[in-house]
Structure 1
Amino acid sequence: MNDIKEKLQTIKEKNLYREMRYLSKPQDKYTVIDKRQVLLMSSNNYLGLANNEEVKKSAIDGINEFGLGSGGSRLTTGSYDLHKKLEEKIAKFKNCEAALIFNTGYMANVGVISSICDENYYIFSDELNHASIIDGCKLSKGKTIVYKHNDMKDLYNKISTINPAKGIIVTDSVFSMDGDIANIHDIVKIAKEFNLLTVVDDAHATGVVDKNGRGSSEYFNCKVDITIGTLSKAVASEGGFVCADEYIIDYLKNKARSFISSTALSPGIINGAIKSFELIESTDRVKKLNNNIKYINKKLNEIGIEADENGDSPIIPIFIGDEDLAMDISKSLLEKGIYIPAIRYPTVPLNKSILRMTIMSTHNKEDLDLVINELKQILIENKVIK
């Protein structure tokens, strides 16, 4: 026990201690955190659907018709008609043969990688991949080779040196901290040359990337073998999913332990997700989000913060570096009624802390201008910009 206390004390001394901030209002653009109303600039609720009346009604309808709990795993008593309906909806949305729902995107990544990659597989993984991908690699029996972030030359050289008989290339599409987009087109090209499977995590791309929000495959106009995603971000529900050819989905149903051994998601959650997909397809929320992304990137450049004005990612990192300074700036913004959290080690490398800002379709120009004005003043005061 003393060892744990000592480790915790070390975390605190390095200013890496993390505390919860509690919301007491819905996940809208304005919410209440620790009893303070704030403009929320850090939510993964990219399309503003988490508090949408139609989505909430659909979730309630699902509970009223099927009850609250699912009652079992999908392979025992937990599969409902709604699960099948959502899987068919996701497969069509992603232009794949079939889909399978997992309880979280984390469990989807862990389940896919660990069940496919036996001791004969090599796994080529981007160095900035999400923790769930890293843990999936560790749980598998495959040999993991990490390549430099989004560096196609390094990836190619490492694959060609080994020339594996079996293997996968796995990457996030939109990276969760830096917000940049993987070069999926070249990854697919390399994979085809060496007969490897491509596994792409579309967690931050689904409902966001591509003019219709269909994700990285549509964005790059290419087909990946396995697309993983989440229902908890732009879709504003809970759960994860995998899209692939039908035989791969059948294999995962029989081999992915994180699917087999988990109680199914509740009917209300599933019905809410179905409605979210319908709204993504039938409204202009994706277009509004993309317009907001380009607008704030332009404004950031104007105040001296490098940003891609043609970018399509809703995740915008503001590089600070020092952990103490990042925390101080985040606190100052909160006092101004703007919530942008500081992201520190180990989520990002040591002394490379960032403010992680995310954009929603429900933000308007007045909201974004307010953020820019307050951010500029605080960054000048802290000598981050001139």
Structure 2
Amino acid sequence: MPRPDLLKRLAVQTAERGQAQLQRRLRTITRAEGPFVESHGRRLLAFCTNDYLGLAQDSRLIAAWKQAADESGVGSGSAHLICGHRREHAELEEMLAEWTGRERALLFSAGYMANLGVIQALLQRGELCVQDKLNHACLLDGAQLAGAMLKRYPHADVEAATRQLQSNEEACALLATDGVFSMDGDVAPLHELAALCARESATLMVDDAHGLGVLGNDGAGSVAEAGLSERDVPVLMATLGKAVGCSGAFVAGPTALIDGLIQFARTYIYTTAMPPALAAATCCAVSLARTESWRRQKLNALIQRFRHGAEQLGLPLMPSRTAIQPLLLGDAQRTLEASRALEANGLLVVAIRPPTVPQGQARLRITLSAAHEEAHVDRLLEALARLRLAGAPV
């Protein structure tokens, strides 16, 4: 009997997803200008980027990139541990450690790579990894890469997390959670989770990809906003491609963590370092994110304006105080149709459907940015009102 053909099987699976109206498709953006993008010859007002502070197109970041590229070229040419670690990388790591109140920081090429590398370096086969059920996929994949015993607790359920940690009190244990959940926009119960880890001698890891730059007095993130220290949260990961407006990621924590990652995190050791020009632009972005507090103030005002308007319209708004404002519609086809109707009105709002979210929980994932204006939010609310979405499941 011949072996199954892998590509044919993949084609069948892809066709099945298309028939279920769940197929993912690429969209090419030909131009970006503030909150507007151009796609297929149309100018669309986008409510689906993660550029929460509106920094991605800031002229000062562009100038920093150009100057560093003139001096150092584009590519780093090597992994950090060979000869790819440049002055710009070292400066950025120092800035990120100081911003987040950690001893050290270590750059990774992407958040996915950071989470895979950290969990694989920390945990050995059979050890315990407890995670929120709504954690980002890379945290789950990291536990699988490590061969750890993965236990997932119902979203934000600290009592359930307690039971899972206590199910194996002899094993080394890591509890990992998003700080801000990427599809729901809510914030993890970090105080309670930190107290739990202290009681159970577990290590707490927080993925603050969607909290850094947005939460906390100077944008240091959800952990800082909660008043938790490096001792409470020894492992902090955050990305640089969202509120910071650039690309890449970092892990911050005590020196013992960073020294260990340099030795054992395979996704760090065997990956080319980010371009030094990108690191230089990110240094500029971090400085602006910290000092230009008006960006967070404007973003928060827009969030409140949108939530008030959505509640007035009876829209199925999920509970979130962050830039991520999902409208839970439930049915995947209905959500896709709503997204298409908004695009016909010049608004880009992406439909999030299974398997990215559970069955029956399709939603319009609306994200707000300091690049938006009040008139933009009002335009979105007017378009949503015409869709008659009130009464959808919440």
Per the normalisation by structure 2, the TM-score is 0.94
Gaps of 5+ in 1: none
Letter in 1 for 2:276: P
Confirm or deny: 8 A CA contact 1:46 1:208 kept in the other structure.
yes
Distance in 2 (CA, whole Å) between partners of 1:355 and 1:306 is 10
Partner of 2:208 in structure 1? 202
Matches within 5 A, 1:70-85: 70-85=76-91
Partner of 1:149 in structure 2? 155
Partner of 2:219 in structure 1? 213
Could you list the per-position Cα deviations for residues 95-145 of structure 1 after superposition, in whole angstroms to 9, with x for gaps in the alignment?
Answer: 000000000011000000011101352100111110110110110032111
Q: 1:44 to 1:5 in 2, by over 3 A?
A: same
Distance in 2 (CA, whole Å) between partners of 1:206 and 1:56 is 21
By how many angstroms is 1:160 displaced? 2.3
Distance in 1 (CA, whole Å) between partners of 2:286 and 2:33 is 18
Aligned residue for 2:32, secondary structure, equals coil
Q: 1:327 aligns with which of 333, 336, 351?
A: 336
Could you list the per-position Cα deviations for residues 304-336 of structure 1 after superposition, in whole angstroms to 9, with x for gaps in the alignment?
Answer: 125478x53111110111111111100000010
Letter in 2 for 1:101: L
The share of aligned pairs that are identical, in percent, is: 30
Distance in 2 (CA, whole Å) between partners of 1:319 and 1:204 is 19
Aligned residue for 1:18, secondary structure, equals coil
Distance in 2 (CA, whole Å) between partners of 1:273 and 1:227 is 18
Paired residues in the alignment total: 383
Confirm or deny: 8 A CA contact 2:317 2:328 kept in the other structure.
no
Confirm or deny: 8 A CA contact 1:298 1:307 kept in the other structure.
no
Confirm or deny: 8 A CA contact 2:179 2:187 kept in the other structure.
yes
Q: 1:266 to 1:28 in 2, by over 3 A?
A: same
By how many angstroms is 1:159 displaced? 1.6
Aligned residue for 1:162, secondary structure, equals coil
Confirm or deny: 8 A CA contact 1:82 1:271 kept in the other structure.
yes
Q: 1:185 to 1:140 in 2, by over 3 A?
A: same
1:280 and 2:289 correspond = yes
Distance in 1 (CA, whole Å) between partners of 2:118 and 2:45 is 37
Q: 1:67 aligns with which of 73, 86, 99?
A: 73
Distance in 2 (CA, whole Å) between partners of 1:236 and 1:170 is 25
Q: 2:64 aligns with which of 58, 63, 85?
A: 58
Gaps of 5+ in 2: 1-6
Confirm or deny: 8 A CA contact 2:80 2:272 kept in the other structure.
yes
Could you list the per-position Cα deviations for residues 14-69 of structure 1 after superposition, in whole angstroms to 9, with x for gaps in the alignment?
Answer: 01111111111126211212221111100001111111100111111111111111
Distance in 2 (CA, whole Å) between partners of 1:216 and 1:290 is 15
Distance in 1 (CA, whole Å) between partners of 2:128 and 2:13 is 34
Partner of 1:127 in structure 2? 133
Distance in 1 (CA, whole Å) between partners of 2:101 and 2:235 is 12
Distance in 2 (CA, whole Å) between partners of 1:316 and 1:164 is 41
By how many angstroms is 1:9 displaced? 1.2
Greater than 3 Å deviation, 4+ residue runs:
306-309, 382-385
Distance in 2 (CA, whole Å) between partners of 1:240 and 1:286 is 21
Partner of 1:236 in structure 2? 245
Could you list the per-position Cα deviations for residues 276-316 of structure 1 after superposition, in whole angstroms to 9, with x for gaps in the alignment?
Answer: 0111122121221122112211111111125478x531111
Distance in 2 (CA, whole Å) between partners of 1:55 and 1:325 is 40
Could you list the per-position Cα deviations for residues 165-188 of structure 1 after superposition, in whole angstroms to 9, with x for gaps in the alignment?
Answer: 411100001001011110011000
Matches within 5 A, 1:1-386: 1-26=7-32, 28-119=34-125, 121-223=127-229, 224-283=233-292, 284-307=294-317, 311-380=320-389, 384=392
Distance in 1 (CA, whole Å) between partners of 2:71 and 2:339 is 44
Letter in 1 for 2:309: K
Distance in 2 (CA, whole Å) between partners of 1:27 and 1:217 is 32
Distance in 2 (CA, whole Å) between partners of 1:164 and 1:209 is 36
Letter in 2 for 1:362: A
Distance in 1 (CA, whole Å) between partners of 2:8 and 2:112 is 31
Per the normalisation by structure 1, the TM-score is 0.96
Letter in 2 for 1:338: L
Aligned residue for 1:208, secondary structure, equals coil
Distance in 2 (CA, whole Å) between partners of 1:314 and 1:35 is 28
Aligned residue for 2:131, secondary structure, equals strand
Letter in 1 for 2:271: S
Cα RMSD over matched residues? 1.5
By how many angstroms is 1:2 displaced? 2.7
